[in-house]
Structure 1
Amino acid sequence: MANQIYKQIISFLLCVLLIQYNIVSSVQKSFSLEKPCKHFVFYFHNIAYDEDNAANATSSTILNPMGLGDFSFGKLVIVDNPVTMDQNYLSKPVARAQGFFFYTGKTNFNSWVSWTLVFNSTQHKGTMTIMGANPIMESTRVLSIVGGTGDFLMTRGIAMFTTDLIQGNKYFRLKIDIKLYECYY
């Protein structure tokens, strides 16, 4: 009799596991790395604060340790930068990049980025969060898109950064090629 009870319990547990597997596998969203579900190209414009341009600055160093090498190691920069569809800084922004980056390389220029693209236009509403290592001296860098809200709810993908223009220490522009591989809207 004990064997029969054990068989019934095991049969019941196997049925529960099978039902859970079917539910989870039917909810999982499949995606292809060959073809993104959405693709965007944006331009990120940065004007560094330097005590003379408070009205126009879009980023500011809030922590700048002294004496830690020639590559700005430990420098922390907060950003609220316009993001446009073209290279013109004066174009109407489609989003704002808000967040921070800090320099992580003691022997070369490297940074770590955490930005949220905040969309509030007629075309898109919501946010998209970009995070990851940004080896500045490489021509193209790939960072992770780790989530979003609104039109980009729970999205995942990649953001390829290319430095498009540098003008001294005050202005730089990045081309951001975004490919989303997990889209719910």
Structure 2
Amino acid sequence: MMTMAPQVHGQINPEDQSPKVVELWLKKLGHVKHKKLTKLHFYFHDTLSGNNPTAVEVAQANITSKSPTLFGIVNVMDDPLTVGPEPASKIVGFAQGFYASASQQDVGLLMTLNFVFTDGKYNGSTLSILGQNHVFHNYRELPILGGSGVFRLARGIATAKTYAFNATTGDAIVEYHVIVMHY
């Protein structure tokens, strides 16, 4: 028989990490009023195939090819961030960093990256992400640990949801909702 852990004040249900639930949770925090709260929405295009990939493999362990989760593989990325899910949609920045398959039981990536904004009022600003991304879960929550420019001293949450995935090529389009507190 499964028992449920008691709900701790301020916690969200780990089964529901949708952008709206995360935003409601964040608004309940008292210190939000002393900082700016910015919401962003964009799409991340991770392309491993073709003549101009935006993510490339740079390392893998000896056991990676035998692992169902590709455990030990490391990719570096410079993925465009766009307004819409279409590849030709307006680019607002890039996701630059790396991700590694860090789970033997699930396709779970350790992601270390910056969202580097190149357009509009956030041009030249960045948000730094470090977190675990279980790519086959409906919603994934990645912590924002800092930023630069407009986003100095940033803290927040980036919620990811796969929009499209090609199992043959590994190419993916991921929808991001970002809620970030900054000064």
Query: Which category describes the TM-score, using the shorter chain as reference length?
Result: 0.7 to 0.9
Q: Name the aligned partner's letter for residue 79 of structure 1.
A: M
Aligned residue number for residue 82 of structure 2: 84
RMSD of aligned Cα (Å): 1.9
Q: In the alignment, is the contact (CA less than 8 A) between 2:126 and 2:151 conserved in 1?
A: yes
Shift in Å, 1:130: 1.1
Shift in Å, 1:122: 2.8
Q: Specify the SS of the correspondent of 2:120.
A: coil
The answer to whether 1:30 aligns with 2:31 is yes
Give the 5 Å matches for 1:140-151. 140-151=139-150
Aligned residue number for residue 139 of structure 1: 138
Aligned residue number for residue 62 of structure 2: 66
Distance in 2 between residues matched to 1:71 and 1:120, nearest whole Å: 34
The answer to whether 1:45 aligns with 2:41 is no
Shift in Å, 1:167: 1.7
Count of matched residue positions in the alignment of Structure 1 and Structure 2: 149
The answer to whether 1:122 aligns with 2:127 is no
1:76-111 Cα deviation digits (max 9, x unpaired) = 000000001111111121011000000011122111
Aligned residue number for residue 57 of structure 1: 53
Could you tell me which runs of 5 or more consecutive residues in structure 2 were left unpaired when the two chains were aligned: 1-29
Q: Name the aligned partner's letter for residue 54 of structure 2.
A: T
Q: Name the aligned partner's letter for residue 159 of structure 1.
A: A
Q: In the alignment, is the contact (CA less than 8 A) between 2:84 and 2:90 conserved in 1?
A: no
Identity %: 25
Distance in 2 between residues matched to 1:57 and 1:88, nearest whole Å: 16
Distance in 1 between residues matched to 2:119 and 2:182, nearest whole Å: 19
Distance in 2 between residues matched to 1:105 and 1:154, nearest whole Å: 30
TM-score, structure 1 as length reference: 0.75
Distance in 1 between residues matched to 2:178 and 2:71, nearest whole Å: 28
Runs of 4+ in 1 over 4 A off after TM superposition: none
The structure with more radius of gyration: 1
Q: Specify the SS of the correspondent of 2:127.
A: strand
1:75 aligns with one of 73, 92, 102: 73
Shift in Å, 1:31: 1.2
Q: Specify the SS of the correspondent of 1:123.
A: helix
TM-score, structure 2 as length reference: 0.76
Distance in 1 between residues matched to 2:106 and 2:140, nearest whole Å: 15
Q: Name the aligned partner's letter for residue 57 of structure 1.
A: P
Q: Specify the SS of the correspondent of 1:88.
A: coil
